[in-house]
Amino acid sequence: MTDTQDQAAAAAETPEQRVARLGLEIPDFAKEGYYGADVYGSMKPHHISGNILFLSGHTPDQPDGTVRYPGRLGDTLTVEEGYEAARLTALNCLGGIRLALGSLDRVEAVVRSLCFVVSTPEFTEVHRVSSGYSDLFAEVFGPVAGLGGRATIGVTSLAGGSSFENWVTVEIKS
């Protein structure tokens, strides 16, 4: 296949087909339970208003509560490790979307995401860390639907010792 044929084939895929082709392992919160519900206080995993899905914050934690990539960027974690933490967080967000909508194919587009990176005051590459999240969403939903507005904020700490957290809002297909 040529690059053009590869691009056309990829464009014809649904998000769920892309996930399967990429071999991504997305947590099944319907079976395993949403990992934040019992740990982080009174909250629900998501809220739907009209055709907008608001996810609660997601981290790179495993469904059993194991904190992945604890630490601080600019101190104990590298940009590459932060990128992987953001990518794992994106997988958890995909699990949250599936829990809310039943299928990733119901997503019209990412509206916005707000990323939090635990870092030292001197660390100025928080945007590179958040690209781990954005890059995975672009792989799954495509570069147009998968990339919405994004802001990244460096913070001193997050609940449970996580190094990365993301809030994502998506538009649901009519």
Domains of the chain: 3-172 (3.30.1330.40)
- The per-residue pLDDT for range 125-148, each reduced to its tens digit, is 999 999 999 999 999 999 999 999
Predicted local distance difference test score (pLDDT) of residue 51: 98
- The per-residue pLDDT for range 6-28, each reduced to its tens digit, is 455 556 899 999 999 999 999 99
Predicted local distance difference test score (pLDDT) of residue 56: 93
With a pLDDT cut of 70, the percent of the chain lying above it is: 89
Measured distance CA(82)–CA(103) in Å, rounded: 28
Contact status, residue 167 vs residue 55, Cβ threshold 8 Å: yes
DSSP-assigned states of every residue in 67-121: PSS-S-BTTTB-HHHHHHHHHHHHHHHHHHHHHHHS-GGGEEEEEEEEEEEEB-T
- The per-residue pLDDT for range 34-72, each reduced to its tens digit, is 665 566 677 788 999 999 999 999 999 887 778 899 999
Predicted local distance difference test score (pLDDT) of residue 5: 47
Predicted local distance difference test score (pLDDT) of residue 1: 46
